[in-house]
Structure 1
């Protein structure tokens, strides 16, 4: 049965770990979000239109 031969699966597993450990982390570290987060605007207490959601 070819499924029980560990030779090709060992190479596939090793190469996938190398991809995840060497190529993916620099892409994740260098990722910058498209829009920077903004501060929540504070409502004026005298504002007549006070909605319960921001």
Structure 2
């Protein structure tokens, strides 16, 4: 079965992972987020009780 032969595909997979880890990842990690998270505390409003007409 030719699909079980890892000779050509393992080198392609290993080289693509090395390219991603060594070249692409540092470039992508250096970008600043356009909307950084804020330090505001979330104000949670208490929900109003539902007035059921049959109670």
**Structure 2 length-normalised TM:** 0.51
* Higher RCO (CA < 8 A, seq sep 6+): 1
- Gap regions ≥5 residues in structure 1: 42-50
CA distances 1:3-53 after superposition (whole Å, capped 9, x unpaired): 122211122221122122112321232121102333427xxxxxxxxx717
List alignment gaps of at least 5 residues for structure 2. Answer: 47-55
TM-score, normalisation: structure 1: 0.52
Find out whether 1:52 has 2:45 as its counterpart: yes
Aligned pairs, number? 45
